[in-house]
Structure 1
Amino acid sequence: MTHNATDTLLRQLGWLVQAPALLPCSPFHDAGHLLQRELQADPALLHNAATQLQAHPSPRRLGLIFEQWVAALVDASQGLERIASNLPIREQGRTLGELDMLVRDLRSGELWHWELALKFYLATAEQWYGPNRHDTLARKAHHLYQQQLPRSRSDMARAQLAEQGWEVHGQALLTRGRLFYHRAIPPSGVKPNPGHERGWWRATDELDDGLWSIIERPCWPTPFMSDKGTNFVDRATVIDYVESHSRALMVTGPHHDQPGFIVPVSWPTP
């Protein structure tokens, strides 16, 4: 891996640890606080985690990349131990769901069930939609708070964990990502963490003239770290791509100090 790639990875891991949560953690705990504690205790944490990551190929899916980053940070830390990842909970041979991660706090001895989410949503008057319009913030929040996080409290999970000698002390949430605003009033319903990272979005018929830098999906978490020197495109090219492919495109560009999404005129209607 080149020096530039290593530097980018270090900055991405630093972003993961220090970035604000996307969603409120209450009534659960904030797993990010444990990662921040570990970085404060060991300034070499990011470098050690990056070294581990360089030994393995990066997944293609952004959610799996995020999981890999979190696992590397936990594994490289001095005060945390990753006990399991993607642990299936089964009943009579049927998988009910998975626990994203079991992490032991070596300082307290407590075993925590972590759930992870890296998400990007665009505000409309009705609700927050993902770039994949079938994904919404309301649906994801409900799944996290009502299904994923409570899963380790179920009798089935507790019995299965006890077979391994594990007893979960509590549940913790780690969410990162960005919410993108339009001129419309943000939707009611799910309330994000007030300090969340922000961006903007426009339909192709609202796009300003000028040169735009396309942000590829692996760089969505840290859009200003992408190589903007080689992929500037003009307004007409952006519009043609977005409309012909009928997909949202993340960009940085003139007159904006935040990243944005360009979406088809018909969006979010299929």
Structure 2
Amino acid sequence: MQTNYNNATDQQQALHDMQALLHCPSLICTPYAIDEQWLTKFRQHAVLPRDLAPYQGNQRLGFYYQWLWQQLIEAHPHYRLLAEEVQLTWQKQTLGAIDFLVENTQTGHLEHWEVAIKFYLAFQQQWPGPNAKDNLDKKTTRMLEHQLQLSHHPAFIEQVAPQYGMPNIKRLLMQGRLFYPHQQDTTGSSLAVNPQALTGNWCYPAQAAQLTLKPIRKTQWINPPSYCELETLLDVDTVTAPTQAIAPDNQVWFVMPEDWPHRDGFESLENTQ
């Protein structure tokens, strides 16, 4: 699947993607997760950057997403980006990297932000991703119990705090979309997902053959185009990788290969109990 931001993401698309993120609810309702009140306030004062240079970073969607938020922070009148990708090591071991250290210029508070763009599908009371080794519960646990705790690790206190101080606030920005199975009454795990999260449907190619869908590139997942903007109909016989597509009602679909999620070593809850 094509993922080339240097060509596909010109300034206008990047600005549209930023607009989409400013209206995209959190996937989850957990400690530190942004809520609609915070996002609305951030959006009301947000300024889209002018003379935006083309994105030149890692081609994976998550890196592009982090770059979009970097641009939004740097252009925002109420926030100042102090540091990003703050690498921490301790006793010769790499602990990880803090996404953003941000100063709220109105309160003077130092904030630690972790950001992630994710897409998960409800399947057998779980939320696996397109790569089923990833799932929403594991990702949330990782973000809450590891990533957001880095700013209180002794490595941070010793190596970073002397320059920036200790964070007063931690924020988790996990945006994206949750997909529910076509013609099935199946939910994901018991994790507290945001009822306002963006949603879509998912199905296998055999089911997609009965629908009229138009595929989109991965570079369009953040801000999907409308059905009428697309030309090519989805050929279900060519679906060998998770493919997002748009229906005539502009609903977003995920069409998954027939062997998903088991090709990724997915284990059902029954097999693990």
TM superposition score normalised by structure 1: 0.85
Cα 1:101/1:225, change in 2 over 3 Å: farther
Structure 1 residues 159 and 35, CA, compared in 2 at 3 Å: closer, same or farther?
farther
Match of 1:20 in 2: 25
Residue in 1 aligned with 2:41? 37
Q: 1:7 to 1:32 in 2, by over 3 A?
A: farther
- In structure 2, the CA distance between the partners of 1:262 and 1:147, relative to structure 1 (3 Å rule), is same
Residue number in structure 2 paired with 1:267: 260
- Normalising by structure 2, we get a TM-score of 0.84
CA contact (8 A) 2:121 2:188 kept: no
Whether the 8 Å CA contact 1:141–1:190 is kept in 2: the answer is no
CA contact (8 A) 1:32 1:174 kept: no
1:184-213 deviation digits (Å, cap 9, x = unpaired): 420233221111000000111212435421
- Aligned runs of 1:1-270 on 2, under 5 Å? 5-24=10-29, 26-28=30-32, 30=34, 36-41=40-45, 45-46=47-48, 48=49, 51-52=51-52, 54-57=53-56, 59-182=58-181, 183-209=184-210, 211-224=212-225, 228-230=229-231, 232-234=232-234, 237=235, 239-242=236-239, 245=240, 247-254=241-248, 256-270=249-263
Distance 1:165 1:6, change over 3 A: closer
CA distance in 2, matches of 1:248, 1:193: 24
Q: Partner of 1:10: helix, strand, or coil? A: helix
- 2:193 and 2:51 mapped to 1: Cα distance? 33
State the shift of 1:58 in Å. Answer: 5.5
Q: What letter matches 1:51 in structure 2?
A: D
CA distance in 2 between partners of 1:20 and 1:55 (Å): 26
1:14-38 Cα deviation digits (max 9, x unpaired): 11112111122x4226288666434
CA contact (8 A) 1:35 1:73 kept: no
Deviation (angstroms), 1:158: 2.0
Q: Give per-residue Cα distances to partners, 1:61-85, cap 9 Å, x unaligned.
A: 1001100000001111121111111
Contact kept in structure 1, 2:120 and 2:179, CA below 8 Å = yes
Gaps of 5+ in 2: 1-5, 264-273
Which secondary structure does the structure 2 equivalent of 1:156 belong to? helix
Provide, for residues 102-148 of structure 1, a one-character-per-residue CA deviation record: whole Å limited to 9, x for no partner: 00001111100000010000111231111112111111011011111
Matching residue's letter, 2:73: V
**8 Å contact from structure 2 (residues 226, 246) kept in 1:** no
Change (3 A) 1:222 1:101: same
Q: Distance in 1 between matches of 2:164 and 2:18?
A: 32
The answer to whether the Cα contact below 8 Å between 2:115 and 2:173 also exists between their aligned partners in 1 is yes
Work out the CA distance in 2 between the residues paired with 1:126 and 1:29.
Answer: 22
More helix by share: 1
Equivalent pair of 2:11/2:54 in contact (CA under 8 Å): no
Structure 1 residues not aligned, in runs of 5+: none
Please name the residue that 2:267 is paired with: none
